[in-house]
Amino acid sequence: MERNYWSRMKRSRMSRRSLLRASARAGVGAAGLALVGCGDDDDDDQPAAAQAQQQQQQAMEQQAEQQAMQQEQQEEPAAQQQQQQQAAVAQAQDQAMVDSQGNAIQTGGVFKRAAASQLTLIRFPWNSAGNNGTIDPTGYMYNCLTQYGGVQLDETANRFWEYANPDWEIKPDVAAGWETPDNLTWIFDIKPNVVFHDGRAFTADDAAHSYEAIRDQGVSGGGSPAYNLGKVIAGTEAIDASTMKLNLGEPRGFTGALTAYVRMGHPETAGSETAPALDMARNEEAVLIGTGPWRFDTDSYDPNTGWRLVPFPESHMGAPNMEEITYTIFSDADAIGIALEAGDIDSHNGIPFNNPETIDRLIASDDHWGWAGTSLGGQIFRFAIDVEPTTDPRARHGVWRMVDQERVVRDYFGPYDDAGRLFFQRGSQGYIEDLDRPNYDPAEGAKLLDAAGVGEGSVLTASTLPIRPYAPALAQLLQAELSTLDIELELDPTEYNVMIEKQQAGDFGNFLIGFGNWIRPESAALAMVMQDALHGEGNAKRGGDASNPIPVRERPYMDNYFHWLDMIIDVQTGNHDDTEEYWRSFNETFHEVMFAQAIARQRGAEFYTNRVHVPDPGPTTPNPQTIWLEQT
């Protein structure tokens, strides 16, 4: 822009000599007009006055021209120097911008990332799954009303950083601002320049639609984090095109998360009657339309190979620096690690390697950099309470005592992951250390199984997720332990998309291995809202269909656990004493009912090749709109 501006100025530029000459003429002309207009009535004096005026004008022009020539000669070197400097600046701006670290920001290039399975786009974007980390976070394809603040990063190893002091204060995203006249009302002002990828303006109606969508089990999925968050919503209202009101049924301590977690979707292509099941693998007409700086290239999607995102320059966030982002589907996390070490991909897309040797090599590598984030989730062991013999809590406890948790975490997780059983992060108000310790004890497990009538000739079934290497490994270890008791464990390796459906339907055999759960650190209330493995929805068959499931408390065997479901609600609503005694009682009940146990709370480590740059001082979680690639 500046180059064009200075080019125009150069083309239309008047010399200083011309300017001074014109000024002299204008001055004399004005004097002449004054003389003529204000002269006396003596006409005999007019020829002489005119001659004197002409002579005076010629003298003034000559004097002005001489002055202009002298001044222009003096200023010519300075003007030339200024023009050269302006041209150099314009050229530099054309070639590259400069980031805050002094690096020349380059544009273009293909960012090569990895995925470990097909996209799970059922009811997307309001119901999400862990393998959708490519387009699930805000800032890629979709935005939320708000977003969380930044983090402090501390370098702890060679070009490896760790999160410290995360900022959970919400900040604007598509909402320019908001007000809360009372603790049940949020009023959001929508930014005026937000548009969908199809060119339609984003309005308050779209924001209201997104919040109404997560309240519908048929859209968001019963038991999903978004659906559980949305239970607190009493209603929404688009006051006008740029103002949306969110009404809560009761005050909760996680409303900020509600505004920073729910993605803003396009009402005509996501969750509507015209496209009720957004699953790209099963519905070729499904279209993903968000508001972020990257647009899903539907034509590129192949469930067997991958997909790509292309820039959306009209985004309110600005145009990305890169030409495109390509995703290649790999068989598992180990294969992704090999490709990243070889430089065949630039990033593994946040999918945990669950391989400590790979992580150690990448931390030591001079060709990669990375970071370990705040722990937000974990891998869990989920039981079905309505399938014999795990209808008996003693059977569930017996199976769990056969799980060598520490060995699995040591062999398949990273140095930043935490082997603990609780669904609270360390430092959380609900965390009790002595109740978190692993309790592997095969002898005690055998006693419990025997007491539950599970022994020689018994058959158990488990669904496993092979793309996470620890899952089949844990299943085989458990299979070996149970075989010593002549108990058979049948394994059902399941592809991710199918596993999502099984988990939501509560239909996965006796237990499920390889699936995660959000274990949010912001508050105990939010942690419990996000735990579909503890609410009952994913622990007993839902019956009916996704839009009209059997209520949790009416499902078989659930009447034995109303006291637990009530405790969950008390934590979600804050209706409890915030004392160690209360939290000890809560966690003891959690262990007693044995709906699930955490295997590891994961911080995870994400790595990039050196060709990936971030513009901010020091690495932060790479923003897909501002990162750039070094061209080779």
Q: What is the pTM (predicted TM-score) of this model?
A: 0.73
Helix or strand (DSSP H, E) at 488: strand 488-493
Looking at residue 279, its pLDDT comes to: 42
As a whole number of angstroms, the distance between CA 408 and CA 204 comes to 48
DSSP secondary structure code for residue 15 in this structure: P
Looking at residues 308-314, what average pLDDT do you find?
Answer: 93
| 523, 564, 591 from 574: Cα distances, Å | 10, 15, 21
How many angstroms separate the first and last alpha carbons of the chain? 27
Query: Using one digit for the tens of pLDDT, what is the confidence trace for 364-408?
Result: 999 999 888 777 788 999 999 999 999 999 999 999 999 999 999
Q: Taking CA 521 as the corner, what is the angle to CA 520 and CA 527, rounded to the nearest 5 degrees?
A: 45
Say which residues have a Cβ less than 8 Å from residue 524's Cβ, sequence separation at least 6.
424, 428, 429, 430, 571, 583
Helix or strand (DSSP H, E) at 98: strand 97-98
- Whether the CB-CB separation of 373 and 604 falls below 8 Å is answered with yes
Is pLDDT of 207 > 50?
yes
As a whole number of angstroms, the distance between CA 325 and CA 468 comes to 24
Burial state string for 52-85 with b = 16 or more CB within 10 A and e = fewer than 16: eeeeebeeeeeebeeebeeeeeeeeeeeeeeeee
- 111-362 homologous superfamily: Periplasmic binding protein-like II (3.40.190.10)
Query: Greater confidence, 50 or 503?
Result: 503
Token readout for 297 is: 């290239």
DSSP secondary structure code for residue 118 in this structure: -
| 139, 205, 311, 359, 379 from 292: Cα distances, Å | 6, 18, 9, 31, 29
Q: Are strands 104-105 and 306-311 parallel, antiparallel or unpaired?
A: unpaired
Query: Greater confidence, 452 or 134?
Result: 452
Q: Taking CA 506 as the corner, what is the angle to CA 509 and CA 457, rounded to the nearest 5 degrees?
A: 15
Helix or strand (DSSP H, E) at 448: helix 442-451
Considering the domain delimited by 377-417+435-601, tell me its CATH architecture.
Roll (3.10)
- Domain limits of the chain? 1-33+53-73, 111-362, 377-417+435-601
Which pLDDT band, with edges at 50, 70 and 90, does 626 fall under?
confident
Looking at residue 174, its pLDDT comes to: 95
Query: Using one digit for the tens of pLDDT, what is the confidence trace for 526-579?
Result: 888 888 788 888 888 887 766 678 888 999 999 999 999 999 989 988 889 999
Using H for helix, E for strand and C for coil, what is the string for 29-47?
Answer: HHHHHHHHHCCCCCHHHHH
As a whole number of angstroms, the distance between CA 367 and CA 14 comes to 55
As a whole number of angstroms, the distance between CA 507 and CA 461 comes to 11
**In a 10 Å sphere around its CB, with 0-12 CB exposed, 13-18 middle and 19+ buried, how is residue 42 labelled?**
exposed
- Whether the CB-CB separation of 217 and 546 falls below 8 Å is answered with yes
Say which residues have a Cβ less than 8 Å from residue 448's Cβ, sequence separation at least 6.
394, 395, 397, 398, 401
The one-letter amino acid at 18: S
Question: 115-119, 298-302, 425-429: lowest mean pLDDT where?
Answer: 115-119
- Whether the CB-CB separation of 613 and 627 falls below 8 Å is answered with yes
Query: Using one digit for the tens of pLDDT, what is the confidence trace for 146-197?
Result: 988 766 677 777 788 887 767 778 899 999 999 999 989 999 999 999 999 9
